[in-house]
Structure 1
């Protein structure tokens, strides 16, 4: 075949291939590496809940949320969402600490919030979750029961302070501890009412990590936790010198320096009354 015929055919082939590749491209999965926890639906929409392990557990939970239109399986990009977790204890009901739900900046259809389940019932029962949301100027609601499993270690503690206020402290980081210095982050909340659990600001939390199975030894280079206004959490340094089971002994101080809960670890007192646990 002559060159003058080959060149046009080659150009057409390349052009067709390029167009085909553009058409075949699919958008990045916005819930990649997440596992669906469950769906909560009404007649119009399905609210999908995701996290890293596909479960709600006692303690701190980060949740990714999408709202699907049941008519065409599309997802809303401009929804306004709030939520209310509720624990039914038969004789009483209460909620738990939770954040506002906000849009993830680099995602078109994914929203995010955090919730701290301070307890659960038999076989994970007792909790329900209600979403109130607005799409296209119209208000909707969806409710269903959820399962909250008990965490193996104490990653959240509920306690009464010496100021007669009930508090909740929850471990957030480290999720994957290492031998060495770890960024330690916890959330601190107070119970204003059965439905309101705001973040506590400008307190301090003293830290003394110990290994009960190894003579209750501590570790060097730990720092106490202080409040960070940028993320409304308490942060410090946690030194872990070996793998195994650790108890993070804590003492809570208010802004005046008064100890509200917790004690020093001594030879006669092996553990503070306020503590969290981790194992790696």
Structure 2
């Protein structure tokens, strides 16, 4: 009798999956584009130099953004002899309060590629209440100068690149940002994420705005993200998938794992984050119960995606 009841429930779920998938496809009216080309997102001309800031698709998005910065002579167009490039994004809200986001402050020189590289994980999109500015410092031919540039940060339409901000059990603020895949496949996908922690200032502000010591973030080292992907829609029963791999840090400082999407639709990446000592900083175990007709339970640390 139990077997017959299980088979009946399974048939209902399979039929619901088909209907759910059809409804899901009907809701999507645009195709998510995988951006691979860096284009100009902002530019400044000052002190006889042209500063070009590039990002994928020429757009700053909420979430993780790889940044490339190029400096040329504004008259000749020649690559300038530049060093010591710093990069500080600052958001100002309607109350005049300032905050930053995870970023690489000292940009890295890519001499072969003739640009400086970094990243920014913008935690909010630009709005009437929240505005973003970039504060740059650079030394060109022995002359150091500072630059301020207002930028526009757009909402990230690609839900596969979502992020989350949370406070851990250690009372520290963390950010997890998905970096890839931009366009997952119904298959095993390499999952790439950055994990960052806000560094609470030790000293008072220097009096010169912006003081970078007040807006510092670090890349979290040696942690682990245990991964449990689920399809949380009631029609899916909160089922998971096989062959997933937890995210661990690699030489590039980012966290690499594997997520196996067995079909398109809504997925939740449930996480449990552990520090170097194996202590749980955030996250809860998701029950293995098969729950057709009921929205699936989620870890208290998760990121929802859709493809």
Indicate whether the TM-score tops 0.5: yes
93-102 or 218-227: bigger deviation: 93-102
8 Å CA contact 2:126–2:152 kept in 1: the answer is: no
> Residue in 1 aligned with 2:242?
220
1:185-264 matched pairs, under 5 angstroms: 185-193=192-200, 194-213=214-233, 214-228=236-250, 230-264=251-285
Where does structure 1 differ by over 4 angstroms across 4 or more consecutive aligned residues? none
Given candidates 175, 180, 184, the residue that maps to 1:177 is 184
Structure 1 residue 51: Cα displacement: 2.2
| RMSD across aligned positions (CA) | 2.1
> Residue in 2 aligned with 1:19?
none
8 Å CA contact 2:190–2:259 kept in 1: the answer is: yes
**TM-score under structure 1 normalisation?**
0.81
8 Å CA contact 1:124–1:148 kept in 2: the answer is: no
Q: Distance in 2 between matches of 1:124 and 1:251?
A: 33
> Residue in 2 aligned with 1:85?
89
Task: Give unmatched runs, 5+ long, in structure 1.
Answer: 1-31
SS at match of 1:191: strand
Q: Structure 1 33/256 Cα, relative in aligned 2: closer, same or farther at 3 Å?
A: closer
Q: Structure 1 68/93 Cα, relative in aligned 2: closer, same or farther at 3 Å?
A: same
After superposition, the C-alpha distances for 1:30-59 in whole angstroms (9 at most, x for unaligned) are xx9422112133242221111221110111
Task: Give unmatched runs, 5+ long, in structure 2.
Answer: 1-35, 201-213
**TM-score under structure 2 normalisation?**
0.74
8 Å CA contact 2:132–2:152 kept in 1: the answer is: yes
Given candidates 253, 274, 279, the residue that maps to 2:301 is 274
8 Å CA contact 2:44–2:149 kept in 1: the answer is: yes
Q: Distance in 2 between matches of 1:279 and 1:188?
A: 21
Q: Larger Rg: 1 or 2?
A: 1
Q: Structure 1 227/249 Cα, relative in aligned 2: closer, same or farther at 3 Å?
A: same
In the alignment of these two chains, the number of paired residues is 247
8 Å CA contact 2:45–2:74 kept in 1: the answer is: no
156-165 or 41-50: bigger deviation: 41-50
> Residue in 1 aligned with 2:205?
none
Structure 1 residue 196: Cα displacement: 0.8
After superposition, the C-alpha distances for 1:166-189 in whole angstroms (9 at most, x for unaligned) are 111111122231221111111111
1:139-178 matched pairs, under 5 angstroms: 139-152=144-157, 153=159, 155-178=162-185
After superposition, the C-alpha distances for 1:81-101 in whole angstroms (9 at most, x for unaligned) are 111110112342111111231
Structure 1 residue 161: Cα displacement: 0.5
> Residue in 2 aligned with 1:102?
108
> Residue in 1 aligned with 2:15?
none
